[in-house]
Amino acid sequence: MRTQDAFVSLPNLAEQRQAFWKNNQNSNDAIHLPQHLREGLFANSATLVPLAVKRAEKASRSRQKQRMVKQFDWKNTEDPRDVVHLAVQAVAEGHIVAVPGDCCYLLVGSGMQESAVDKLAHIASLDKNQHGLTLMLRSPSELLDYFPDLTSSIRRFASKVWPGPITIDLADSQPNSVLRCLNPEVVAKLTQPNQKLRTSQPYHPVFQQMGRLLAGPLVAAPATDSSGKLARTVESISSEAHAIAINDGETSEIGLPTLVEFEKNIASITREGIVTEDYLKGLSRITILFVCTGNTCRSPMASALMNRKIQERFADLFPGEQVPIVAYSAGVSAYGGDPASPGAIHAIQHYGTNLDAHSSSQLSQEMVEQADLILTMGSRHKHVIVSQWPSVANKVHMISPSGSEITDPFGGPYDVYERCAAQLDDYTNHWIEQLKLSDLILWNHPQDKKGKR
Does residue 452 lie within any of the structural domains?
Answer: no
Q: Which residue would you say has higher pLDDT here, 130 or 257? A: 257
Final residue of a structural domain among 20, 43, 68: 68
Q: Is residue 449 part of a domain?
A: no
- For residue 226, being part of any structural domain is answered with yes
Can you tell me the mean pLDDT for 321-333?
A: 95
408 assigned to active site: yes
- State the average pLDDT for the chain: 85
Give me the pLDDT at residue 69, please: 80
Q: Both 269 and 135 in a single domain? A: yes
Specify whether 47 is located in the same domain as 93. Answer: no
Share of the chain above pLDDT 70, in %: 83
CA distance 119 to 335: 58
> Does 228 score more than 90 pLDDT?
no
Domain boundary at 23, 41, 68, which?
Answer: 68
What is the end-to-end Cα distance of the chain in Å, rounded?
57
Does the annotation count 292 as an active-site position?
A: yes
Q: Are residues 247 and 310 in the same domain?
A: no
DSSP string, 219-284: EEEE-B-TTSSB--SGGG-----EEEEEE-SS-S--S-PEEEEEETTEEEEEE--SS-HHHHHHHH
Instruction: Give residue 53's Cα distance to chain centre.
Output: 47
pLDDT grade, residue 101 (50/70/90)?
very high
Is the residue at 40 inside a domain?
yes
Answer yes or no: do 366 and 260 share one domain.
no
Query: Averaged over 247-265, what is the pLDDT?
Result: 91
pLDDT at residue number 68: 65
The answer to whether position 399 is within a domain reads yes
**Residue 453 within any structural domain of the chain:** no
Assigned domain for 403 exists: yes
> What pLDDT score does 111 carry?
96
- Summarised one tens digit per residue, pLDDT across range 338-371 is 999 999 999 999 999 999 999 999 999 999 999 9
Residue in 103, 104, 292, 297 annotated catalytic: 292
Known active-site residue 102: no
> What is the model's pTM?
0.78
Both 385 and 245 in one domain: the answer is no
Q: Identify whether residues 333 and 221 lie together within a single domain.
A: no
Check whether residue 152 and residue 189 sit in a common domain.
yes
The whole-number pLDDT of residue 25 equals 37
CB neighbour burial string for 56-91, b if at least 16 within 10 angstroms, e if fewer? beeebeeebeeeebbebebeeeeeeebbbbbbbbbb
For residues 207 and 295, membership in a common domain is answered with: no
Q: Which of 118, 225, 372, 408 is catalytic?
A: 408
Domain that holds residue 420: 285-442
- Do 243 and 233 contact (CB within 8 A), yes or no? no
Compute how many other C-beta atoms are within 10 angstroms of the C-beta atom of residue 128.
Answer: 11
Predicted confidence (pLDDT) at residue 8 exceeds the cutoff of 80? no
Task: Report whether pLDDT(20) > 50.
Answer: no
- pLDDT for residue 445: 64
The CATH number of residue 400's host domain is 3.40.50.2300
The reply to whether 59 and 105 lie within a common domain is no
Nearest Cα residue to 177 out of 210, 205, 217: 217
Q: Of 34, 68, 102, which residue constitutes the final position of a domain?
A: 68
Lowest pLDDT segment from 45-49, 216-220, 226-230: 45-49
Burial of 46 (0-12, 13-18, 19+ CB in 10 A): exposed
Specify if 451 maps to a domain.
no
Are residues 96 and 120 in contact, defined by beta-carbon separation less than 8 angstroms? yes
Total domains in the fold of the chain: 3
62 and 75 together in one domain: no
Residue 14 predicted with pLDDT over 80:
no
Query: What HEC string does 51-83 produce?
Result: HHHHHHHHHHHHHHHHHHCEEEECCCCCCHHHH
pLDDT digits 0-9 by tens, 154-185? 999 999 999 999 999 999 988 889 999 999 99
Greater confidence, 246 or 54? 246
**Which residues is 224 bridged to in the sheet?**
230
413: which DSSP letter? Answer: -
The CA-based angle 240-245-249, given to 5 degrees, is 115
How much is the pLDDT for 409? Answer: 97
What percent of the chain is predicted at pLDDT more than 90? 73
Give the pLDDT band (50/70/90) at residue 21: very low
276 and 297 share one domain: no
| Domain CATH for 152 | 3.90.870.10
Q: What is the pLDDT of residue 128?
A: 82
| CA–CA gap between residue 264 and residue 151 (Å, rounded) | 7
Position 319 scores a pLDDT of 87
pLDDT band, residue 53 (cuts 50/70/90): very low
Q: What is the mean pLDDT of residues 95-110?
A: 96
Question: What does the alpha-carbon distance between residue 112 and residue 181 come to, in Å, rounded to a whole number?
Answer: 9
Instruction: Tell me the per-residue pLDDT of 56-79, one tens digit each, with 9 for 90 and over.
Output: 455 444 444 444 688 999 999 889
CA atoms within 13 A on the CB side of 360: 22
* Options 232, 298, 420, 425, the catalytic residue: 298
Note whether 5 and 46 are same-domain residues.
yes
